[in-house]
C-alpha cells in the first residue's frame, strides 16, 4: 500500500520551490505527524551554536535553551554575540551563558575558541556549525584564504577536530551538525579550485562549492569516526526569511517573501537533530531536510564529480590547510 506521506514527500521533493518553501514544511509536518523537535528536557547537556547572532542560528540556540540545554554562542563580534546570548537567555528563561568570541574564518581564533570551550566546559554534547554567508565580493582572511571557504569549511573542520575528544566523552554519542544549503545541489565536488580566484569569483558559485564541501566532509567524518562516539549530520533548512537572505538575495526575498519559512521553521530539523535521541543518534552521515534524509545529488554532472579519489583529495586539502589532526585515515570512501 502506498504511504500517503511518502508519496506527497516525493512529489514535493522533485520541484525545488514547493519543497524548499513553507509549503514543504507545512505539508511534511502534518503528514509525518511531527512532535516537538525537543521531545525530552535537555538539562545537563552542553551545546555550542556558531552564527547565533541572527537568523537560523539564533532560532536554534533559543529553542535548545528553552528545552533546558546550556547553549554556548560562538560569534565574531563581542557586542553582537553578548547581546544575542542575553536575548537567548531572556527568551528561554535561562541564566545567560557567556559567549565565546571567534571569527570562524580565522584559524588562530578557532584554536583559541576550542581551548576556551575545553577549559570552561567539562562536556560537550552537540556542536552546531551554522555560521555562514553568501559574499557578493571576494574577501580573504588574514591567512589569505577565501572567506566563504575559510568560514564554512576550514574553520568548522578545525573546530570539529579539536573538540572531538570532548564530544566523544559523554554518556551518549556527541553530535556534529552542519547547516548546509540546497544551493549545493548546483555544485560539483571542487578541490583544486574549491576557493575561486578573483577573476572567476561569483558569490553564488563560491557559496555552492563551500556548501557541497560541507556535505561531503560530513560524510567523510561519519565514515572515519565510530558512531558510538560521535555522529555527524548536515542539514538543508529550505528557504527561510533571515537577515542573511535579506542582505545577500534581496530580489529573491522580495519575490518569494510570502512563501519563505520563518527562522524557527528553517531551524526545525537542526533543533530536532540536536535534541532527539531517536533517529538522529541511531544514524550518522545524513543530509536532512524536514526530518528526512535526502540525496546529496540531483544532477548527473555533480554526481560524476564526486569520486572516491576526489573525496580523499578534499580530506587531505582541509587537513593540510587547517593543520588539523583528524581521526585515523580509513582510506577513500565512496559517495553513498
Ligand atoms: N536562510 C536561508 O534560507 C538559508 C538557506 C540555506 C542555508 N542557510 C545557511 O544557514 C546558516 C545561517 O544563515 P542565516 O540565513 O540565518 O543568515 P544570517 O542571519 O546572516 O546569520 C548568519 C550568522 O553567521 C555568522 N557569521 C558569518 N560569518 C561569520 C564568521 N566569519 N565568523 C563567525 N560568525 C559568522 C553571522 O554573524 P554576524 O552577526 O557577526 O554577521 C550570523 O550570526 C548559514 O550557514 C547559511 O548559509 C540559510
**Residue 326: CB within 6 Å of ligand 1?**
no
Is a pLDDT exceeding 50 seen at residue 329? no
Mean pLDDT of all residues in 48-76: 98
Give the nearest ligand 1 atom to 240 CA: 3
The class (CATH top level) of 41-231+292-322 is alpha beta
**Residue 286: CB within 6 Å of ligand 1?**
no
Give the nearest ligand 1 atom to 261 CA: 3
Question: What is the H or E stretch that residue 189 is in?
Answer: none
Residue nearest to atom 36 of ligand 1 (CA): 51
Percent of residues, the chain, with pLDDT higher than 90: 89
Question: What is the H or E stretch that residue 100 is in?
Answer: strand 100-101
What confidence tens digit (pLDDT) does each residue in 246-264 have? Answer: 999 999 999 999 999 999 9
pLDDT at 2: 58
What confidence tens digit (pLDDT) does each residue in 98-134 have? Answer: 999 999 999 999 999 999 999 999 899 999 999 999 9
Mutate to test the pocket of ligand 1, among 20, 54, 207 (most ligand atoms within 8 A of CB): 54
Residue nearest to atom 17 of ligand 1 (CA): 244
List % helix, strand, coil for the chain (3-state, nearest 5).
Answer: 50, 10, 40
According to DSSP H, which parts of the chain are helical?
4-13, 16-20, 22-31, 55-66, 78-92, 107-120, 147-149, 155-167, 203-224, 243-248, 250-256, 263-275, 279-282, 300-305, 308-322
Domain ranges of the chain: 41-231+292-322
**Residue 155: CB within 6 Å of ligand 1?**
no
Higher pLDDT, 130 or 336: 130
Question: Ligand 1 mean position to 104 CA, how many Å?
Answer: 11
What confidence tens digit (pLDDT) does each residue in 274-283 have? Answer: 999 999 999 9
- What is the pLDDT of the chain when averaged over all its residues? 93
Is a pLDDT exceeding 80 seen at residue 323? yes
**Residue 285: CB within 6 Å of ligand 1?**
no
CA nearest to 188, candidates 289, 284, 320, 298: 298
**Residue 24: CB within 6 Å of ligand 1?**
no
Q: How far apart are CA 313 and CA 179, in angstroms?
A: 23
What confidence tens digit (pLDDT) does each residue in 203-234 have? Answer: 999 999 999 999 999 999 999 999 999 999 99
Based on the residue annotation, tell me whether 207 is a catalytic residue of this protein.
yes
154: DSSP letter: I
- pLDDT confidence bin for 95, thresholds 50/70/90: confident
Is a pLDDT exceeding 90 seen at residue 3? no
- pLDDT confidence bin for 332, thresholds 50/70/90: very low
pLDDT at 336: 47
Residue nearest to atom 42 of ligand 1 (CA): 51
- pLDDT confidence bin for 325, thresholds 50/70/90: confident
Mutate to test the pocket of ligand 1, among 244, 256, 260, 263 (most ligand atoms within 8 A of CB): 244
Amino acid at each position: 500500500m502506498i504511504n500517503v506521506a511518502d508519496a506527497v514527500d516525493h512529489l514535493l521533493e522533485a520541484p525545488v520551490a514547493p519543497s524548499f518553501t513553507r509549503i514543504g514544511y507545512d505539508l511534511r509536518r502534518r503528514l509525518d505527524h511531527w512532535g516537538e523537535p525537543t521531545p525530552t528536557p535537555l538539562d545537563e547537556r552542553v551545546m555550542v551554536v556558531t552564527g547565533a547572532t541572527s537568523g537560523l542560528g539564533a532560532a536554534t540556540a533559543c529553542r535548545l535553551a528553552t528545552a533546558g540545554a546550556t547553549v554556548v554562542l560562538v560569534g565574531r563580534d563581542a557586542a553582537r554575540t553578548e547581546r544575542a546570548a542575553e536575548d537567548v537567555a531572556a527568551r528561554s528563561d535561562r541564566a545567560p551563558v557567556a559567549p565565546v568570541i571567534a571569527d570562524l574564518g580565522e584559524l588562530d581564533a578557532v584554536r583559541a575558541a576550542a581551548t576556551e570551550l575545553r577549559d570552561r566546559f567539562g562536556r560537550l554534547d552537540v556542536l552546531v556549525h551554522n555560521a555562514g554567508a553568501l559574499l557578493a565580493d571576494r574577501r580573504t582572511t588574514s591567512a589569505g584564504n577565501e572567506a566563504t571557504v575559510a568560514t564554512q569549511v576550514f574553520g568548522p573542520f578545525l573546530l570539529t577536530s579539536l573538540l572531538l575528544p570532548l564530544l566523544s566523552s559523554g554518556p551518549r554519542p556527541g553530535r556534529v551538525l552542519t547547516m548546509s544549503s540546497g544551493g549545493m545541489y548546483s555544485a560539483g565536488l571542487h578541490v583544486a579550485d574549491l576557493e575561486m580566484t578573483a577573476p572567476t569569483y561569483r558569490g553564488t558559485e563560491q557559496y555552492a562549492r563551500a556548501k557541497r564541501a560541507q556535505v561531503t566532509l560530513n560524510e567523510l567524518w561519519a565514515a572515519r569516526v565510530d558512531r558510538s562516539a560521535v555522529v555527524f549530520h548536515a542539514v538543508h533548512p529550505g528557504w527561510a526569511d533571515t537577515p542573511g537572505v535579506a542582505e545577500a538575495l534581496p530580489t529573491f526575498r522580495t519575490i518569494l517573501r510570502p512563501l519563505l519559512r520563518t527562522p524557527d521553521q528553517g531551524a526545525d530539523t537542526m533543533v530536532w537533530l540536536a535534541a532527539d535521541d531517536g533517529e538522529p543518534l541511531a544514524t550518522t552521515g545524513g543530509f536532512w531536510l524536514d526530518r528526512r534524509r535526502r540525496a546529496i545529488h540531483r544532477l548527473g554532472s555533480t554526481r560524476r564529480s564526486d569520486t572516491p579519489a576526489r573525496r580523499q583529495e578534499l580530506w587531505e586539502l582541509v587537513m593540510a590547510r587547517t593543520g588539523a589532526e583528524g581521526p585515523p585515515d580509513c582510506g577513500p570512501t565512496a559517495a553513498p
